């Protein structure tokens, strides 16, 4: 009965004389691609930080609740609608209603903009990867200054790791208005990143499907290796205890729930159009419900799994720093009071200190001993690029066999990011292919090459001296608010415009089972409600925060602390533009279609000839 | 006579002690961290080790000045502590009352630093002459930076991959074009109702204005 259903939605014609719609070689490819798209850099460097900031094990509660009530329903909806309508994001929303075409265009623009800066991060990862083959690692020691009498001042004041990141990698300018030049080494790293992306993306899902066998599975292998190694490092248990100790009172803070919901939403890469594109290449009779649950659960499980080695290693780093601090103090005491060498050890340090405080308290004060506190070092965690390129690289130096660990770590980051890039680019390619904007004579290889080339040229902004600041702007303003808006419109369209009844029928036809109460409840009320609340809360939080950025300025008084500068007016205008341009297409397209509809009604009511039958047009017309 | 000799002999160490003053203008402080450097193989610091130190320092002075008059007795040590640290001065061999100026001593030590370190199995960090900074070893710079080599390898692989894929795609497309042409020639042109089927194939049927509702193709809002 379902086969002959008369749908009013235009399903694209099959059996064109040109190629049919491409399809996945097997189900595994499809699942790995979706998992690879969802599992990205954020799983490794954002989730562990959130977990640690928001009370360790207790954070898992809002996280899992958000997954169940927001993440998986939205995921299922996107996969189902793409699979049913067999088109990319623009085509799908156009099919549901031409007034909604703007949603697809918004997804396209967001995918493009996110792809620009995401691949730049991969270029940075490549740069570190290239440098991981040196012995010793270049971020271990400060370079010598001109006349070889000491270390470069900027490096001596901060740390070699910071210097390598801010000066030798980014060559960052002191503020965003100072553009600096294009850094040639960054340009060639960016070119190689785009080259690698192109080689995997060159024929669309045909080549992506092969590439994901490696890029989606390799990170798990590396994480396991790191897990085994990390658990044997001294201080690992401190790090893990610190991470997972639940502080349940943190749950009273609404910010925790907001961050859990946003983390789930962004982690699953919803609203990019990539998931819709991937599922549109599926055969229609495919169990998308099970796929959605699998992808959602694996994504969250990966986040939790990744946080274990990360925090073991951070615990190791904190312990090393703490020991170094203690050793520095011990040396000062030994030298000042001429105590025998190695008589003061880490174990009896406290008793010595007490003893000296009673006898020579003034001299002890004059030494200005550093206050060494393990908790403080553990608190120095970071998220984002700071975790990967500063904190983790510092930890890697202290591990024996640093080069191996550095290479493994950066290759893992690269493959995590690469599989996410595939989703971004498919979110651009599939809608354009479905809109038939590509001329027939242009081979697919050339079109994908064109997309990569244009993206590369735009991404050159991020290779300038101020590139890092611009990347932060893109990350904060493009990859956040527009996605929430687009996702909200997506679910409202599917549930209320396409019709939840029709959608449930479609899913029953595709999977053989009607969606149960859980799906009905979440799709109709809970998920849109949560999205709305998250969106409003996000805006409230953003408005309250001052629009500042952290600048690396060697001439700053409190250097090596970063300087908090305000965004200049024109930069802030660009931020607002970046947030609003993808969303503005939704009302623009709706308005455009509305005007078209009105024009057509007016035109039709004026001249309607009911006897005109166009089926019998003579040939020579 | 004998008493005078005895008196002068007893004065010499007193004079020596007077010459060697901590924080003196031409005195240097030395600090050794033997246990840190050698761990279990650490040796005990005693008179004989002290003697070796003075001898190596005399050697350093000889090497620097070229005069072979410096002797163990030219180097005077005082204020030894348990740390192990002490102060020393170098007296002029020709006139035991005057001291060799600080710069000369520093240059001499710099020149033979390596030999002095090796004599005690220590390094610049564990045998410290306070005031004489350790020489910083410049990092080795290979002729071509390593990272460019790795970059070249990766880019080479990527470029060959891209070319291979493009060329294979091109060849595939050429083969398919030839196949398609063969197929077309075989197909007869089908006619139905006086109209070629081919012209109809491209359209999804034709909307007959008389028989369709306005909003059939659009979902009701």
Residue B197 is encoded by which pair of tokens? 């089927």
Contact B208 A614 (CB under 8 A): yes
Is residue A43 marked as binding? yes
What is the predicted pLDDT for the residue at A5?
Answer: 41
Residue of A291, A482, A382 lying closest to A44 (CA atoms) = A382
Total residue length of chain A: 621
Residues of B in contact with A340 (CB under 8 A): 35, 82-84
- Return the domain boundaries, chain A: 22-606
Structure confidence by residue, pLDDT tens digits, B30-85: 888 888 888 888 888 888 989 999 999 888 888 888 888 888 888 888 888 888 88
Order of strands across the sheet that contains B75-78: B75-78, B85-90, B28-32, B127-130
DSSP B76: E
A299 in a known ligand binding site: yes
pLDDT at B17: 57
Find residues 180-209 of chain B whose CB sits inside 8 Å of chain A.
195-196, 199, 204, 206-209
Instruction: Kindly determine whether residue B136 and residue A150, on different chains, have CB atoms separated by under 8 Å.
Output: yes
Would you state the pLDDT for residue A480?
A: 86
Residues B70 and A230: their CA atoms lie apart, in Å, by 57
User: Which of B34, B159, B169 lies closest to A443 in CB terms?
Assistant: B169
Nearest to B161 among A199, A341, A443 (CB): A199
Please check the confidence at residue B27 and state whether its pLDDT lies above 90. Answer: no
Q: Does the annotation list A267 as a binding residue? A: yes
- ipTM score assigned to the predicted complex: 0.79
Chain B partners of A202 at a C-beta cutoff of 8 Å? 162, 165-166, 169
Chain A hits for B35, CB-CB cut-off 8 Å, are: 340-342
At residue A244, the pLDDT reads 82
- Say whether B218 and A97 touch across the interface (CB within 8 A): yes
Contact status, residue A423 vs residue A108, Cβ threshold 8 Å: no
Residue A271 per-residue DSSP state: T
Task: Tell whether B22 is within 8 A of chain A (Cβ).
Answer: no
Q: Is the pLDDT of residue B200 over 80?
A: no
A13 min Cα distance to partner chain B (Å): 8
Distance CA B113, CA B59 (A): 11
Mean pLDDT by 10 residues, chain A (621 residues): 42 47 91 95 90 85 93 94 91 90 93 94 95 89 78 86 92 89 93 95 90 94 94 88 85 88 91 94 92 95 92 89 89 83 83 84 80 84 83 90 94 95 93 87 90 95 92 89 92 92 93 92 93 91 86 84 88 92 92 92 78 66 49
Give every CB contact of residue A212 below 8 A, 6+ residues apart in sequence: A29, A32, A33, A36, A419, A422
- Give the fold, CATH level 3, of A22-606: Amino acid/polyamine transporter I (1.20.1740)
For the cut 60, the answer to whether the pLDDT of residue B15 exceeds it is no
Other CB atoms within 10 A of residue A480 CB: 15
Q: Is B141 on the interface with A (CB under 8 A)?
A: no
The rounded distance, in Å, linking the Cα atoms of A205 and A209 is 5
Taking 80 as the threshold, does the pLDDT of residue B133 lie above it?
Answer: no
* Alpha carbons A4 and A2: distance in angstroms, whole number: 6
Q: Which residues of A touch B165 (CB under 8 A)?
A: 199, 202-203, 207, 445
Closest CA–CA distance from residue A587 to any residue of chain B (Å): 15
Is there a binding annotation on residue A427?
A: no
Q: What is the pLDDT of residue A93?
A: 92
- Residues B47 and B55 sit within 8 Å (Cβ to Cβ): no
Count Cα neighbours of B32 within 13 Å in the Cβ-side half-sphere. 24
Residue A171 CB coordination number (10 Å) = 17
pLDDT at A197: 95
What is residue B207's three-state secondary structure?
A: coil
Residues A472-499: tens digit of each pLDDT = 999 889 888 899 999 999 999 999 999 9
């Amino acid at each position: 009965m379902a086969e002959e259903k008369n749908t009013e939605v235009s399903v694209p014609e099959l059996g064109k004389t040109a190629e049919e719609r491409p399809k996945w070689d097997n189900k595994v490819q499809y699942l790995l691609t979706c998992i690879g798209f969802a599992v990205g850099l954020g799983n490794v460097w954002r989730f562990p930080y959130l977990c640690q900031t928001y009370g360790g094990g207790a954070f898992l509660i809002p996280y899992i609740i958000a997954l169940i009530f927001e993440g998986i329903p939205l995921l299922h909806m996107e996969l189902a609608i793409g699979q049913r309508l067999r088109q990319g994001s623009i085509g799908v929303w156009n099919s549901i209603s031409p007034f909604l075409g703007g949603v697809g265009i918004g997804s396209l623009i967001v995918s493009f903009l996110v792809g620009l800066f995401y691949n730049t991060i991969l270029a940075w990862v490549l740069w570190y990867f290239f440098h991981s083959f040196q012995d010793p690692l270049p971020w271990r020691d400060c370079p010598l200054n001109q006349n070889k009498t000491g270390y470069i001042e900027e490096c001596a004041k901060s740390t070699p790791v910071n210097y390598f990141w801010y000066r030798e990698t980014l060559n960052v300018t002191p503020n965003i208005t100072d553009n600096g030049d294009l850094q040639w080494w960054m340009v060639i790293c960016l070119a190689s990143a785009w080259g690698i992306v192109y080689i995997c993306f060159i024929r669309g899902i045909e080549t992506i499907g092969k590439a994901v066998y490696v890029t989606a599975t390799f990170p798990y292998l590396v994480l396991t290796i790191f897990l085994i190694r990390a658990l044997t490092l001294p201080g690992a248990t401190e790090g893990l205890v610190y991470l997972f100790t639940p502080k349940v009172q943190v749950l009273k803070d609404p910010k925790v729930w907001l961050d859990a919901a946003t983390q789930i939403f962004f982690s699953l890469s919803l609203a990019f159009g990539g998931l819709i594109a991937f599922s549109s290449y599926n055969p229609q009779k495919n169990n998308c419900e099970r796929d959605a649950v699998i992808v959602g659960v694996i994504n969250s499980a990966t986040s939790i799994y990744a946080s274990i080695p990360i925090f073991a290693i951070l615990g190791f780093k904190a312990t090393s720093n703490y020991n170094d601090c203690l050793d520095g103090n011990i040396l000062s005491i030994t030298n000042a009071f001429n105590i025998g060498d190695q008589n003061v050890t880490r174990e009896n340090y406290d008793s010595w200190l007490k003893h000296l405080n009673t006898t020579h308290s003034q001299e002890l004060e004059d030494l200005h001993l550093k206050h060494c506190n393990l908790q403080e070092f553990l608190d120095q965690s970071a998220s984002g690029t700071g975790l990967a390129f500063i904190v983790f690289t510092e930890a890697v130096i202290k591990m024996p066999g640093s080069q191996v660990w550095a290479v493994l770590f950066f290759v893992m980051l690269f493959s995590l990011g690469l599989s996410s890039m595939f989703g971004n680019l498919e979110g651009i390619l599939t809608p354009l292919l479905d809109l038939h904007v590509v001329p027939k004579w242009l081979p697919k290889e050339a079109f994908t090459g064109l997309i990569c080339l244009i993206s590369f040229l735009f991404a050159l902004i991020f290779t300038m001296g101020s590139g890092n600041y611009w990347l932060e702007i893109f990350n904060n303003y493009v990859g956040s608010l527009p996605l929430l808006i687009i996702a909200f419109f997506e679910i409202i369209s599917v549930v209320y415009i396409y019709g939840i009844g029709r959608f449930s029928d479609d899913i029953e036809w595709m999977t053989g089972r009607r969606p149960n109460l859980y799906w009905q409840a979440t799709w109709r009320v809970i998920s849109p409600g949560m999205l709305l609340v998250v969106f409003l809360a996000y805006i409230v939080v953003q408005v309250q925060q001052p629009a500042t950025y952290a600048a690396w300025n060697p001439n700053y008084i409190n250097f090596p602390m970063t300087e908090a500068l305000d965004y200049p007016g024109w930069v802030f205008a660009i931020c607002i533009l970046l947030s609003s341009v993808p969303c503005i297409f939704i009302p623009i397209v709706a308005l455009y279609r509305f005007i078209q509809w009105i024009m057509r009604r007016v035109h039709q009511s004026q001249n309607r000839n009911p006897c005109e039958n166009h089926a019998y047009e003579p040939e020579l017309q | 006579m004998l008493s005078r000799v005895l008196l002068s002999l007893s004065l010499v160490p007193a004079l020596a002690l007077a010459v060697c003053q901590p924080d003196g203008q031409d005195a240097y402080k030395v600090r050794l961290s033997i246990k840190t450097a050698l761990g279990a193989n650490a040796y005990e610091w005693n008179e004989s080790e002290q003697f070796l130190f003075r001898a190596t320092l005399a050697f350093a002075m000889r090497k620097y000045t070229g005069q072979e008059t410096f002797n163990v007795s030219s180097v005077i040590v005082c204020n030894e502590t348990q740390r192990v640290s002490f102060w020393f001065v170098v007296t002029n061999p020709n006139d035991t009352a005057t001291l060799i100026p600080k710069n000369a001593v520093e240059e001499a030590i710099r020149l033979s630093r390596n030999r002095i370190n090796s004599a005690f199995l220590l390094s610049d960090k564990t045998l410290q002459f306070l005031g004489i900074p350790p020489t910083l070893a410049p990092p080795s710079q290979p002729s071509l930076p390593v990272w460019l080599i790795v970059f070249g390898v990766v880019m080479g692989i990527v470029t060959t991959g891209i070319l291979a894929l493009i060329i294979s795609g091109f060849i595939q497309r050429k083969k398919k074009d030839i196949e398609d042409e063969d197929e077309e020639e075989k197909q007869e042109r089908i006619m139905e109702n006086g109209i070629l089927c081919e012209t109809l194939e491209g359209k999804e049927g034709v909307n007959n204005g008389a028989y369709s509702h306005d909003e059939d193709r659009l979902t009701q809002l």
